[in-house]
Amino acid sequence: MDEDDTARTGDDAERTGADGPLAGYLVVDLSRALAGPHAGMMLADLGARVIKVEAPGRGDESRGWGPPFVGPDDQPVSTYFMSCNRNKESVTADLKSDDGRELLTRLVARADVLIENFRTGVLDRLGFDVERLHEINPGLVVLSITGFGHDGPEAGRAGYDQIGQGEAGLMSVTGEPGSPSKVGVPIADLLAGMYGASGLLAALLERERTGRGRVVRTSLLASVVGVHAFQGTRWTVAGEVPEPTGNHHAAIAPYGLFHTGDGALQVAVGSEAQWRAFADVVGIDPDDPRFATNADRVGHRDELIAEIEAAMADAPAHRWLARIDAAGIACGKVRTIDEVYEWDQTRSQGLLVDVEHPLLGQVQLPGPPVRFDGGDGRRHSAPPVLGQHDASVRAWLDEP
CA-to-CA separations, 144 to 1, 200, 209, in angstroms, rounded: 21, 10, 22
The Cα 161–Cα 61 span in angstroms is 14
Q: What is the average pLDDT value for the chain, to the nearest integer?
A: 93
Residue 299 has pLDDT above 60, yes or no: yes
For 255-335, CATH number?
Answer: 3.30.1540.10
- Where does the pLDDT of residue 158 fall: very low under 50, low under 70, confident under 90, or very high at 90 and above? confident
Q: How many CB atoms lie within 10 A of CB 267?
A: 22
Question: Catalytic amino acids?
Answer: 189
> 68-96 burial by CB neighbour count: b if 16+ within 10 A, else e?
ebebeeeeebbbbbbbbbbbbbbbbbebe
Q: Which residues pair with 127 in a beta bridge?
A: none
- Return the domain boundaries, the chain: 3-227+349-398, 255-335
* pLDDT value for 10: 40
CATH number of 3-227+349-398, picked from 3.40.50.10540, 3.40.47.10, 3.90.320.10, 3.40.50.300: 3.40.50.10540
Give the pairing of strands 141-146 and 215-219.
Answer: parallel
52-106 per-position pLDDT tens digit:
999 999 999 999 999 999 999 999 999 999 999 999 999 999 999 999 999 999 9
Region of poorest pLDDT, from 235-244, 247-256, 330-339, 365-374:
365-374
Q: How many CB atoms lie within 10 A of CB 177?
A: 9
Residue 226 has pLDDT above 60, yes or no: yes
In this prediction, residues 319-323 reach a mean pLDDT of 96
* pLDDT value for 376: 56
Residue 360 has pLDDT above 50, yes or no: yes
* pLDDT value for 18: 58
50 phi and psi angles, rounded to 5 deg: -115, 120
- Where does the pLDDT of residue 121 fall: very low under 50, low under 70, confident under 90, or very high at 90 and above? confident
